[in-house]
Amino acid sequence: MYPRKIRAMLIAGNWKMHKGSSETREFCAALRARLPTTEGVDVVVCPAYTSLHDALGMLAVTEIGVFAQNTHWEREGAYTGEISPAMLHEIGVGGTLVGHSERRQYFGETDESTARRAQGAIGAGLDVIACVGETESEREAGETESVLRRQIRAIADAVSEDDRDRLLIAYEPVWAIGTGKTATPDLAEEAHRVIKGLLEVPVLYGGSVKPDNAAELLGQPSVDGALVGGASLEVESFAAICQAAIHS
Ligand code: PGA
């Protein structure tokens, strides 16, 4: 189970559609050796559904948590191909991502479905990292703030105040995901302030976070952690980002 602490900083590794069961076991064994303690920083990995069980087994004795990458909102029902939050909770998964931009872009995820997934997951006892962020054309058109307002409002309307201690937001500008283009620390700070003005929860930054830019991004006052894609696939780079959080 995800070890809950006072949330100073959270680093989450989003593996996307990478790492089957044996690669997951190998990675977790190496991460355990490389990161024997997380010194007050919350660290989680988000494997594919079929690798969750392996990650949970390998990391059971550590402070490192395991989250899913998505979940349905209902407990059970006629939703072929979906996984419910109760199913995740039953095997010991501590939380889940929802509304990642790749889900919005390729699988028809909307503000509304993202909000429903967030609410359903929290209702089932999971922590939630809900992803928001503008596209390049929205930023160029000066719409960043209005896009963030719309995305955050949908989540805030769905998740009651009493449930918000299980909610985190990840600000991931879509143009920075997997592109090597990172938001400048100032730009990230500005967007995080907008989000925190709308919803008082921790806000992670995501989008090409690497060992060499992590310390500066994590050093911003409104950045409460990072959602890491590409750099979370190698133990060395993921551990280096966790170390940057430990020392920030
Ligand atoms: P990236 O991905 O670090 O590879 O840009 C981040 C994410 O998609 O969560």
Give 192-248 pLDDT, tens digit per residue: 999 999 999 999 999 999 999 999 999 999 999 999 999 999 999 999 999 999 988
Average pLDDT of the residues of the chain: 95
Average pLDDT score over residue span 115-137: 97
Q: How does pLDDT run across 55-107, given as a tens digit for each residue?
A: 999 999 999 999 999 999 999 999 999 999 999 999 999 999 999 999 999 99
Catalytic-labelled residue, pool 72, 89, 100, 192: 100
Cα separation, 101 vs 103, in Å, equals 5
Ligand 1 center–CA 80 separation, angstroms: 28
Q: Is the pLDDT of residue 3 over 90?
A: no
Percent of the chain with pLDDT over 90: 91
Ligand 1 center–CA 230 separation, angstroms: 6
Q: What is the pLDDT of residue 153?
A: 97
SS (H, E, C) 97-118: EECCHHHHHHCCCCHHHHHHHH
Ligand 1 center–CA 232 separation, angstroms: 9
- Decide: helix, strand or coil at residue 149: helix
Residues whose beta carbon lies within 6 Å of some atom of ligand 1: 14, 172, 177-178, 206-209, 227-231
Q: Best substitution site from 10, 14, 45, 109 to test ligand 1's pocket, by max atoms within 8 Å of Cβ?
A: 14
Average pLDDT score over residue span 157-180: 94
Residue 71's nearest CA partner among 44, 98, 89, 94 is 98
Q: What is the pLDDT of residue 41?
A: 94
Ligand 1 center–CA 170 separation, angstroms: 11
Cα separation, 167 vs 207, in Å, equals 20
Q: Is the pLDDT of residue 1 over 50?
A: no
Q: What is the pLDDT of residue 40?
A: 84
Q: Whose CA is nearest to atom 9 of ligand 1?
A: 229
- Give the list of residues 6+ apart from residue 35 with CB closer than 8 angstroms, or none: 43, 62, 64, 239, 242
Q: Of all atoms in ligand 1, which is nearest to the CA of residue 179?
A: 5
- Residue 172 annotated to the active site: yes
Tokens of residue 176, six digits: 């920075």
- Residue 82 annotated to the active site: no
Q: Of all atoms in ligand 1, which is nearest to the CA of residue 209?
A: 3
Q: Is the pLDDT of residue 7 over 60?
A: no
